[in-house]
Amino acid sequence: MVDETHEAHEPDRVLGEDPLSDLDIEWMDDDTEAELGLDSLGGDPLADMDMSWMEDQNTILRLSPTEQSPTLDEFEADLELVVTPEPVLDASDEVFMRRDPALTPMTSARPGKSADHLPGSAAEKQLRDSGSICATFHFPADFQWGVATAAHQVEGNNQTNDWWTWEQQQGRIKEGHTSGLACDWWENAEADFDRAADLGLSTLRLSVEWARVEPRPGAFDEHAIARYVEMLQGLRERGIEPMVTLHHFSSPRWLADQGGWENPETVSLFARYVRKVVQPLSTTCDLWCTINEPNVYAVEGYLDGIFPPGKSDLKSALRVLRNMLRAHAAAYRAIHDIQKNARVGLAHNMRIFDPANPRSLLDRRVARVLDRFYNQAILTALVKGWWVVPVGFGPAWKLRRTLDWVGLNYYTRDLVAFDRGLPESLYGRRIHSSDAEMLDGNYGEFYPEGMYRCIHRLASLKLPIFVTENGIPDEDDDQRPRYMLSHLHQMWRALQDNCPVHGYYHWTLVDNFEWAEGWTLRFGLIALDRRTQTRSLRKSARLYREITGVNAITTPLIDSYAPDLRHVLLPGHNSEG
């Protein structure tokens, strides 16, 4: 994220035609499945595209009425966002999600949970008596509340993976940090499982470290596998359902030495590892996430160069992304061969790419290209079995319909301006407006509406949705309560439109090693002193515990933890209330 504002534009200059209109796409009519490269196509299909319009960096296109509402292709039409206005609440409103009558009716709170902030509590009665607007935003009775974690970030001493090697190299990690003992989960994860149970959580997402299970090619560590079985049993004993991720950014060092995810052989090696792990874990888990954020992994490791192996090459990034999706499909089939009732999905990071200047066709086009590459291409491949330019060319039938559910990792959005000096970034310069509220560490813009927009796009896939990550770096906890409430409210809005969201995993439970940022970004509901391993509950953890306790967002919760959200979440409220 570049810390700058979008400068004012010169008066519009009209090109008179769409510079992309002559792009030759006849090669897409070939129905044979293959990894189509430039050689098999007979040349670069983009080579003849007229790029002269890029020479004037001040070119702004004034849109005709037809361009303002362009015709969408089939897949884009499926994903087109329809924004519904928030309901205006009356003083006596209690808000429930619309549900199919055949489904189990919702209850206001779960058995044994606190009712301090339920409708009818003393605090809410006092608010109603004062004439203040009150509302309760209920979630489905079977809605799952959880947290998400990753093995390398919490286990400690993962010395046989590529990240451990990367951390030892000078200048790779901010302030020279290393993961070290991390959160000591390999020895004592159960203590944090107790804390998760105390927060009222019903599910927890964790990952298996491939390098622990297979520290050398073909040599599997049965003791490591037994430890993961023990962890999952510990979660079940506490009434917490595990979601197991099989690859979360880190790979065995031996795999990296032979080309890592650029090497097509990694697809079959990943499937072999998955079969070895899933068999013993299937007695305590049937909810599987094959790969976490393949788009982030490809961009950060092979384009931006801040993850191992530290490359900056677009072709390598695209190759890695394709191989990871093939590996997902192979893992999907391997898991279902072992466990017929398995629920298998993938955690997909989505960012909103909005044009910095909506009047500029160049900004609009580059935002759309970035959205296709980063957000849509993965979904198109896994749902429809088709590679989307620029990720690939042509059919990908073996990837089709390899999702039982889809995971959304949402944090922030970018404004995008066209910049002809950034070809490796697909000509997109990411910026933010001068009045945007920024997250700690310049992590991005505070933009809760993006949660609603992303859920709506995924809902068109007609698959169950889990919000597999959502959170904020906030050491002093001054933004997190407001971030949590506003994003959960946007998720609730999507539920009102019958978007099939089944659960929410907050990132994360305890402060952990945050990859290239080291220990400088603190995402935890629970603060960690990494030297003493001492933990302390943040205010936002208490808020989350109260939300899970009543299975709702209530007015007293808003007033207690983020009173400045009252005018946002409760339109028409009495400002004196």
Task: Note the pLDDT tens digit of each residue in 23-60.
Answer: 343 333 333 444 444 444 444 443 444 434 333 433 33
Per-residue pLDDT tens for 473-502?
999 999 999 999 999 999 999 999 999 999
pLDDT at position 333, please? 98
Of residues 220 and 120, more confidence is placed in 220
For position 335, what pLDDT does the model report? Answer: 98
Amino acid at 310: G
CB 220 within 8 A of CB 214: yes
pLDDT value of position 130: 58
User: Region 275-285: what's the mean pLDDT?
Assistant: 98
Kindly report which listed range (15-29, 298-312, 517-531) carries the lowest average pLDDT score. Answer: 15-29
Residue-wise over 209-235: b if at least 16 C-beta within 10 A, else e? bbbbbbbeeeeeeeebbebbbebbebb
pLDDT the model gives residue 115 = 52
Neighbours of 76 (CB within 10 A): 15
- pTM score of the predicted model: 0.82
Lowest mean pLDDT among 102-106, 271-275, 467-471, 509-513: 102-106
Cis peptide before 412 (omega within 30 of 0): no
The segment(s) of the chain belonging to CATH 3.20.20.80 are: 144-352+370-413+440-536
Decide if pLDDT at 304 tops 80. Answer: yes
User: What integer pLDDT is reported at residue 132 of this predicted model?
Assistant: 78
Rounded to whole angstroms, the Cα distance separating 577 from 569 reads 14
Residue 86 has pLDDT above 90, yes or no: no
Q: How far apart are CA 447 and CA 439, in angstroms?
A: 10
**Residue 571: what pLDDT?**
75
> Two tokens at 205?
């997402």
Residue 330 to residues 35, 142, 148, 250, 272, Cα–Cα distance (Å): 16, 31, 24, 19, 9
Angle at 480 between CA 235 and CA 91, to 5 degrees: 100
75 has pLDDT over 70: no
Rounded mean pLDDT of 73-86?
38
Q: Which of 113-122, 323-332, 357-366, 420-429 has the lowest mean pLDDT?
A: 113-122
**17: which 2 tokens?**
């035609």
Average predicted confidence (pLDDT) for the chain: 84
pLDDT score at 520:
98
Q: Give yes or no for a contact between 309 and 260, defined as CB atoms under 8 angstroms apart.
A: yes
**pLDDT surpassing 60 at residue 361:** yes
The rounded distance, in Å, linking the Cα atoms of 247 and 325 is: 12
- Tell me the two tokens of residue 545: 């515990």
Q: What's the mean pLDDT in 223-248?
A: 98
With pLDDT > 70 as the criterion, what percentage of the chain qualifies? 76
The residue type of 394 is: G
Question: In the chain, what is the greatest distance between 2 CA atoms, to the nearest angstrom?
Answer: 76
Q: Give the DSSP per-residue string, 13-25.
A: ---SS-TTTT---
User: What pLDDT does residue 133 have?
Assistant: 86
CATH of 144-352+370-413+440-536, one of 3.20.20.80, 1.20.1050.40, 3.20.20.150, 3.90.550.10: 3.20.20.80
What pLDDT, on a 0 to 100 scale, did the predictor assign at position 107?
A: 33
DSSP letters of 271-334?
HHHHHHHHHHHTTT--EEEEEE-HHHHHHHHHTS--STT----HHHHHHHHHHHHHHHHHHHHH
Give the residue with greater pLDDT, 307 vs 14: 307
Residue 244 forms beta bridges with which residues?
A: 206, 288
pLDDT tier, 146 (very low <50, low <70, confident <90, very high otherwise):
very high
pLDDT-based confidence at residue 140 (cuts at 50, 70, 90): very high
pLDDT, average across residues 428-453? 96
**pLDDT value of position 291:** 99
Measured torsion, CA atoms of residues 298, 379, 399, 252, in degrees rounded to the nearest 10: 30
Q: Can you give the pLDDT at residue 124?
A: 65
Q: What is the pLDDT of residues 169-183, one digit of tens each?
A: 999 999 999 999 999
Per-residue pLDDT band for 88 (boundaries 50, 70, 90) equals very low
**Looking at residues 214-238, what average pLDDT do you find?**
98
